[in-house]
Amino acid sequence: MNPVSSRRRFRQRIELERQVLAKVNGTLSAAKPLAGITEASVLQWLRDVEMSLPSADAEAITGIILEIAKRSSLDSDCSRDVFEDDELSPVDSIGDLLFRLNDTLQKASSKGQQQTLQFGARMQN
């Protein structure tokens, strides 16, 4: 295995993780920050946000993040070379997952803002 290629793949995985963390933590500022995209980190985050996000939204976000992590791991450790093409998800599907993540985060954030406004209105009455 070429060390330059391996280093490039590792760097890409780190950049992808930072991109996911920035999206989640930047969009859901009221929720506890996501610390990483490992399964343990994501499942801990899911438990931590159960009071600040509807469970369906939190579970949808978690599922997308875990799928991104799984696919980026396959790409970064050359596992893709072991399988046949028809056994793998397309490489560009990570981009599709990032789009779905962004869309799901925006919807969850909008719901959270509406709930906050409703709560604030009830408090004033």
C-alpha–C-alpha distance, residues 47 and 25, integer Å? 16
Number of domains in the chain: 1
pLDDT digits (tens), the chain, 125 positions: 567 777 887 888 899 999 999 999 999 887 789 999 999 999 999 999 988 888 899 999 999 999 999 888 776 555 555 555 555 555 558 889 999 999 999 998 887 655 543 444 444 44
Helix orientation angle between 55-76 and 93-124, rounded to the nearest 10 degrees: 160
pLDDT at 53: 87
Distance of CA 72 to the CA centre of its chain: 12
In this predicted structure, what is the pLDDT of residue 121? 43
Which pLDDT belongs to residue 116? 43
In which domain, by residue range, is 34 found?
A: 3-124
Give dist(CA 116, CA 55) in Å, integer.
16
